Amino acid sequence: MSVRLEKVSKVFQDPSRPEGSVTAVDRVDLEVREGEFVTLLGPSGCGKTTTLRIISGFEAPTRGDVFISGERVNDQPPNKRDTSMVFQSYAIFPHMSVEQNVGFGLELKGRPKAEVREETARIMAVMGLTSMAKRRPDQLSGGQQQRVALARAIINKPSVLLFDEPLSNLDAKLRDQMRLEIRRIQQSFGITSIYVTHDQIEAMTVSDRIVVMERGRVMQIGTPFEVYSRPANRFVADFIGRVNFFPCTEASFSGEGLTAKYRDVRIRAGSRNGDVREGGPAVIAVRPESLRLEPDSASAAPFLRGRIDKAVYLGAVVEYEIDAGLDRPVMAVSHDPVVAGFFRVGDPVSLSFPPAAAHALAPETAP
């Protein structure tokens, strides 16, 4: 039950723009394997929801093809596609009880009443909804409505489960809980799932692979580790977590990584992208938690020196902004401050990082 998109584009008419249209999805290629959980991640307006609606059939692609289980489904209306969607607003039928909502899909398929009842009871038990079977949707909490929406979507045993930002209406604690629950249910049923969110932590928690999108285009497809530690470009590195960029010149490859000249010193990165050219410029990306801060001393020869500009004590960590004379402050995080001690605003520090934590990107020519 794989899903495949080939060169899928979606252009909307938009008379308010000078060019008269807007390209919401731009030549997207994507392959989701059977049983896989893939997340479309990106800022609002990046085309992730439109992509999802193209897969569900609510939008028709302007160009390109959509395949579900190897069959081209461009001309199949949503009610004929073997996909089920969990909507952002849950879209629970307000005039039906919980039980009726959950069983609606099977009822539409014309299954015998007894079977519908049995299957509904089974799914409701799995989802912890049994005690509220007779309730009306307006008597449910947000989390319970979420469960009803999920139960209603999985009862049809769809080939593909689609999630459109399903947790954005829940409060933070419930969101954490539901993330794990969605992952648990997806794995126990083994349903191929495509999930849309703008929340990178949510994407990291639930996904086998993440598709990072921006302005309708796919920026990177990879595992959570890959998109975080081996970002394909500056956008991905910057969108997922926080990052420091150090622009370098004279890259020379060594093993998996490279060394390059940063100001007056050569620094090492443990990994590099394929589009970095030997001898040319490169950008070395280092996450704040990988930067090491030490009290500055005349004897040391760090790659960068600076002064603590801001220090925010958060208990588990301290977040710093360091003025190192660059156009942006350098971000660093130190852990376990009670034991390790921490710096105060104005302290001079020297900065270093282990090469394994640094990743080299090609400098971008055009955005």
Partner 1 sequence: MTDRAIGVSLGEIRRLARDPLLAFVVAAVLAALVVFILYPLASVVVMALRPDGRWTVEIFRHVAANPYLLQGFRNSILMGVLTAGIGTGIGFLFAFAVTRADVPLKRFLHGVAIIPIVSPPFIGALAIIMLFGNNGFITWNLLRIRNFPIYGFTGLMIAQAVTFFPVAYLTLRGVLESINPTLEDAALDLGGSRFRVFRRVTLPLAMPGIASSMLVLFIETLADFGNPLILAGSRFPILSVQAYLQITGMYDLPTGAALSVLLLVPSVTAWVIQKYWVSRKRYVTITGKPTISSVKIVSPGIRSLIFGACLAVTAFILLIYASILWGALAKVWGSDNTPTLRHFLYVFGVGFKAVRDTLTIAGLSTPASGLLGMVIAFLVIRKSFPGRKFMEFTSMLSFAVPGTVIGIGYILAFNKPPLVLTGTLLILLLNFVFRYVPVGIESGVAILRQIDPAIEEAAVDLGADARTTFSRVTLPMIVPAYFSGLVFAFVRAMTAISAAIFLVSSRWNLMTVQIMAQVESGRLGAAAAFSVILVLIIFGAIFLIRALLKARYGRYGGSMLKF
Which residues in 100-139 contact partner 1 (CB under 8 A)? 104-105, 108-109, 136, 138
| Cβ nearer to partner 1, comparing 13 with 131 | 13
CB of 81: closest distance to partner 1 in angstroms?
Answer: 8
Polymer length in residues for the chain: 367
Q: How far apart are CA 132 and CA 99, in angstroms?
A: 8
Amino acid letter for position 289: E
User: 167, 179 in Cβ contact below 8 A?
Assistant: yes
Of 139, 148, 69, 137, nearest in space to 103 by CA: 148
Q: How far apart are CA 213 and CA 43, in angstroms?
A: 8
Which residues in 334-363 contact partner 1 (CB under 8 A)? none
Q: How many residues bind partner 1 (CB under 8 A)?
A: 28
Distances (CA, A) of 33 to 118, 179, 208: 31, 21, 10
- Check residue 147 for interaction with partner 1 (CB under 8 A): no
CB of 101: closest distance to partner 1 in angstroms?
Answer: 9
CB of 153: closest distance to partner 1 in angstroms?
Answer: 8
Of 20, 295, 341, 346, the residue at the interface with partner 1 (CB under 8 A) is 20
Of 10, 147, 152, 175, the residue at the interface with partner 1 (CB under 8 A) is 152
| Cβ nearer to partner 1, comparing 109 with 277 | 109
Distances (CA, A) of 115 to 98, 121, 156, 168, 315: 17, 10, 12, 34, 54
Q: How far apart are CA 191 and CA 86, in angstroms?
A: 13
CB of 19: closest distance to partner 1 in angstroms?
Answer: 10
- Check residue 83 for interaction with partner 1 (CB under 8 A): yes
Of 16, 44, 79, 131, the residue at the interface with partner 1 (CB under 8 A) is 79
Q: Which helix (H) or strand (E) holds 228?
A: helix 224-229
CB of 300: closest distance to partner 1 in angstroms?
Answer: 57
Stretch that binds partner 1, among 85-93, 223-231, 264-272, 337-345 (CB under 8 A): 85-93
The secondary structure of residue 62, as a DSSP letter, is S
Structure tokens at 344: 């105060």
CB of 189: closest distance to partner 1 in angstroms?
Answer: 17
Q: How far apart are CA 212 and CA 232, in angstroms?
A: 10
Binding mask 41-70 for partner 1 (x = CB under 8 A): ---------------x-x------------
CB of 79: closest distance to partner 1 in angstroms?
Answer: 5
Cβ within 8 Å of residue 247, ≥6 positions away: 262, 281, 283, 363
Which residues in 299-318 contact partner 1 (CB under 8 A)? none
Amino acid letter for position 356: A
The rounded Cα 48 to chain-centroid distance in angstroms is 10
CB of 63: closest distance to partner 1 in angstroms?
Answer: 16
What are the residues binding partner 1 (CB under 8 A)? Answer: 13, 15, 20, 56, 58, 77-80, 83-85, 87-89, 91-95, 104-105, 108-109, 136, 138, 152, 156
